[in-house]
Amino acid sequence: MQSRFFTIQNHPQGLPDQNLFNLETAALPELGDGEVRVRNTWLSVDPYMRGRMDGVTTYIEPFTLGSPLEGAAVGEVIASRDSRFAEGDRVRHMGGWRDVAQLVADQVEALPAIDVPEQAYLGVLGMPGMTAWTGLNTIAGMQAGDNVLVSAASGAVGSLVVQLAKAKGVKGGKVVGIAGSQAKLDWLESLGVTAVSYRNKDAQQLSKDLKVACPDGFDVYYENVGGDCLEAALNNLRVGARIAVCGMIARYNDDCPVAGPGNLAMILIRRARMQGFIVFDHWDQYPSFLNEVGPLVARGEIDYRETVEDGLEKTPEAFLKLFEGANQGKMLVRL
């Protein structure tokens, strides 16, 4: 059996284009003891993959040039030589960016039993959802009544953060989301979130707009973007604010270091705490996340969205679109 997969041959400089990616075909080796073969049905593309293309070890190993790229995927077991999996099982694993994956069974997990479409386990009930829940609760320690600011608020992570914050903010705290298009702002407003655009604004203007949106300032800033969003957020913190640094997508395509915000002293002035986190360090809490958020999703109480590209060939395009803001909710590839 053959597998089609993507590789990169070079480390990109700046924002990559589609020429970076090669679609290759290879015959799979015979299935070994303890291995499973999975026909992928959905692939995840995520901003963190950009960092893995740089050839530098961060909190995760870089992609190997010339080898199949990796990423989260769900699919159906089509052959198994491991007693834990049988043909037809629906599973999740990291053998994405390809149509058929052959994996050691230890690297494959059965999908949880909550009654949701299987691709939800790549988005709202997968790594992005777990990230939203962890950052808001464990890292930022959000309390009822807190005013919460979220950047990239209509994305996979951000759109769950704002909804969890709304649900928890029962004592009248305000939730403000920053996003980049009118459709996204409209969606956020429909969720009861005060939406603020960052497009065509410098940090000073964004600061002013956040002040109008929430004159009392923010107790929590859920950081997905960095750059001007961070600078503007720092100007609008309340005393004792907590910043959960989840991501800084505005910086991922920089090819040299860029000076940080000039107003970091606001952390001192507002006696704020700023903490980065990586969701995989908290993965032992995934069952608690599923227990809490899974039923909300199954009952339709979370408005989660997906932006879907069809066909393996579209995987690089889907990935690159994350940096244009072309997605609402989770960006996915359907095979």
Query: In terms of CB distance, is 8 or 279 closer to ligand NAP?
Result: 279
Task: For residues 26 and 266, give the distance between their C-alpha atoms in angstroms, rounded to a whole number.
Answer: 54
CB of 90 to ligand NAP, least distance (A): 22
CB of 326 to ligand NAP, least distance (A): 7
CB of 228 to ligand NAP, least distance (A): 8
Residue with tokens 């690297």: 107
Task: For residues 267 and 242, give the distance between their C-alpha atoms in angstroms, rounded to a whole number.
Answer: 9
Check if the beta carbon of residue 141 is closer than 8 Å to that of residue 280. no
CA neighbor of 306 nearest in space, from 60, 126, 179, 167:
126
**Binding interface with ligand NAP (CB under 6 A):** 46-48, 128, 131, 152, 154-158, 179-181, 184, 224-225, 246-250, 277-279, 322-323, 325, 327, 331
Strands (E), 190-278: 194-197, 218-223, 237-245, 273-276
Distances (CA, A) of 5 to 22, 69, 196, 212: 8, 7, 39, 48
Query: In terms of CB distance, is 75 or 128 closer to ligand NAP?
Result: 128
Query: In terms of CB distance, is 80 or 163 closer to ligand NAP?
Result: 163
Element housing 183 (H / E): helix 182-190
Element housing 133 (H / E): helix 127-133
Residue 109's DSSP bridge partners are: 92
Query: Checking DSSP bridges between strand 330-334 and strand 35-44, what pairing results, if any?
Result: antiparallel
Query: In terms of CB distance, is 297 or 331 closer to ligand NAP?
Result: 331
Contacts 24+ apart (CB under 8 A), 23-32: 23/312, 23/313, 24/68, 26/2, 27/1, 27/2, 27/3, 28/1, 28/2, 28/3, 28/100, 28/102, 29/102, 31/79, 31/80, 31/81, 31/102, 32/81
Total Cβ atoms within 10 A of residue 104: 12
